[in-house]
Structure 1
């Protein structure tokens, strides 16, 4: 069901249905999303 709903899981299956695996809330997964957001969205306006 809601395996860590609201968080980014450590890993996901590559094939459908892309089930989450491992730890349900990894700090480095969240950090990577934030890094990509800063790089792609926030710096684009500079």
Structure 2
């Protein structure tokens, strides 16, 4: 069974899939706000590949 076969059978018996609603974005970042300082001073530069 492939998706085309399933689509044809469901169409013939009148079934429809559930359409998911689009999520609403409720929080917008303030681009003018200052970034949080790096209090630990971590350095994420890799010494070698895949390390």
TM above 0.5: no
Considering only CA atoms, is the larger Rg found in Structure 1 or Structure 2? Answer: 2
Task: Report the structure, 1 or 2, having the larger helix content.
Answer: 1
Task: Report the structure, 1 or 2, having the larger strand content.
Answer: 1
